[in-house]
Amino acid sequence: MTALRLARIGLLISTILVGVTAVAGGAALIVGSLNPSLATVLSPPVEYLEGSPFNSYLAPGVILALVLGGLHLVVFVLVLRRHEWWVLAGAVAAFDALIWIFVQMVFIPFSFLQAFYFAFGLAEAGLVMLALGLLTPAKHHPVHRS
């Protein structure tokens, strides 16, 4: 299996997983913020938002679903179709996931899910580097060929 094929398959798996779960998580936050009786089941305690620009999980839920989830689903389609911008889109998705987790960790105490999605962001960044040929031995890299 070539490095490019491995990168594509890895990005297909990671972007669909992150995309679907981010949309579902965002929807849960939105529903929990709109229906207080469900908030304890669908969203973290509102106290976690103290010191943040938000007073409910409505805006974070929309951002999670649309920005993180939506972007990852768009990237999935671009990778699937082998669109000319799929590698750049994969890099944007990787940074999007990492930025989301960094910002989230400022306000919300550490959880397993943060580590899980941080690992996916790092994996996506690594897959992009693999697709670009940056993880090949120097003697095989096109820059070092005569």
CA dist., res. 31 & res. 33, Å (int): 5
Residue 134 has pLDDT above 60, yes or no: yes
For the segment 8-19, what is each residue's pLDDT rounded down to a tens digit?
Answer: 999 999 999 999
Give the Cβ contact number of residue 130 at 10 Å.
20
Segment 66-95, tens digit of pLDDT: 999 999 999 999 999 999 999 999 999 999
The answer to whether the beta carbons of residues 120 and 90 sit under 8 Å apart is no
Q: Report yes or no: 85 and 28 within 8 Å, Cβ to Cβ.
A: no
Contact 28, 43 (CB under 8 A): yes
Domain boundaries, the chain: 3-138
In tens, the pLDDT along 87-122 reads 999 999 999 999 999 998 888 888 898 999 999 999
Q: What average pLDDT does this structure show over 114-142? A: 86
